[in-house]
Amino acid sequence: MIFRLSPPALSLLALSLPLFTQPLPAADWPHWLGPDGYNLAPADQAFDADLSKWKVTWKASVGHGYSSVIVANGRAYTLGHDGQTQETIYCFDAATGETKWKYSYEAQLMPMMHPGGPNASPTVIGNRLLTLSKDGQVYCLAADTGAKLWQASLPEAAGLKLPRWGFASSPVVDGNQVIFSAGKVATFDLESGKLLWISKNAYDAGYTTAVAFTADRKKLIAAMDGKGISILSAKDGEEITRHPYKAMFDVTGSTPYALADGRRLFISGNSGSELLAFDGQKLTSLWSSTQLKNALNNSVLVDRVLFGVDGAQQQPSSRFVSLNLEDGKVNWAKDGFGYGTVIGVGGTLVALTEGGELVALKAAADGYTELGRQQVLSKTCWTPPAYAGHRIYVRNDRGDVVCLGAG
């Protein structure tokens, strides 16, 4: 099976382990963390790093939440909550913002220390759109029309307890399995919605998305929770090994990266980052660092260098950090950057600050080089941008969605 990686990603540690094991169009951003599951869009000659030249193409209002904008086959999808009783899945024309369809249902808002609303991002596979609500409702809809194909419930079907801040596991598709993680891992059949298996060991729920990968020809799943990371057999959920991770308040919000043919896993959270070696039976720490703490976000890996926001939400002291994957040593750090999120477009980093500024940076280990910026949203922005079809898509927690095109 062929996976399309951007040129900077080709020189990584043999990245053959995407979150989603399906071939995907290079121009799309069809699920959480982008086309290959590493927060990277392919290099694009049309991309202009001077963000001050970019113009707003369209805007929309979708309600409270943190779902990313997902783009596939000319359509853009996201979720939002009306602040009262209803959550809604939106489908827009990716170029114009015209509403193609929307699907609403009753769901909890759960506004605890934040406005509330859905945490997970949609997933598009073929003509199927998969979503997860804040309170654990799974929907599989026809991506083109919004017609319901099947529905399930993580609390009812899988016995997963509602986490304190709601479910946050974006759907992961691996073959015929749709995978969710929240203390336990549960998988559903893609075609029918039938529950396939639930992992046996129960841990405190985390707020991360599972990772499907292959190591030594074995299909595996990596799942972070409130106390650590587990490696499971994708066949039946049997736990192979486990490594502890001590997160502040047991809140983990960053998705692991599986690297080097499954021999390495990078994990991060609100207390630090760690690179783990996996020999097929156990996980061993290669290094750990408190210099890069991904609280609710993910870093970007380019040419064996990690780039990400170190800090926590609503802390202006948060900084942007470059760190070597091989040894965990810091290359540089930019103080006063502010909390936010970041993705990569080829060799350029595109960050969205908590206050709604888009900032373009050079993905280089030799220093912080800013290439352009523009204020595009009001705060609070905890959702990473998406890049597809020569457009940037951003949103804030109250549901203001903005699509920008190069000027």
pLDDT at residue 9 in the model: 38
Q: What does the pLDDT read at residue 316?
A: 79
Report pTM: 0.93
CA angle (122 as vertex; 263, 314 as ends), nearest 5: 80
Q: What is d(CA 1, CA 23) in angstroms, rounded to the nearest whole number? A: 7
Convert the pLDDT of each residue in 187-212 to its tens digit. 999 999 999 999 999 999 999 999 99
Q: Which domains does the chain have, with CATH numbers?
A: 7-405 (2.140.10.10)
Instruction: Give the pLDDT score at 5.
Output: 34
- Compute the average pLDDT of residues 242-265: 94
| Rg, C-alpha atoms of the chain | 19
Q: Which of 367, 373, 331 is nearest to 351 (CA)?
A: 373
Nearest-5° angle of CA 239, CA 243, CA 245? 130
Q: Mean per-residue pLDDT for 292-309?
A: 95
- Give residues with Cβ within 8 angstroms of 10, minimum separation 6: none
| Tens-digit pLDDT profile for residues 324-347 | 999 999 999 999 888 999 999 999
Confidence bin at 64 (pLDDT 50/70/90): very high
Distance, in Å, from the CA atom of 79 to the CA atom of 70, rounded to the nearest integer, reads 10
**Can you tell me the distance from the alpha carbon of 98 to that of 91, in angstroms, rounded to the nearest whole number?**
9
d(CA 304, CA 259): 11
Q: Could you report the per-residue pLDDT of 351-395, keeping only the tens digit for each?
A: 999 999 999 999 999 999 999 999 999 999 999 999 999 999 999
Residue 107 binned pLDDT confidence (cut-offs 50, 70, 90):
very high
Q: Which residues contact 217 (CB under 8 A, 6 or more apart)?
A: none
In this model, does residue 25 exceed pLDDT 50? Answer: no
What's the rounded Cα separation, in Å, for the pair 147 and 145?
Answer: 5
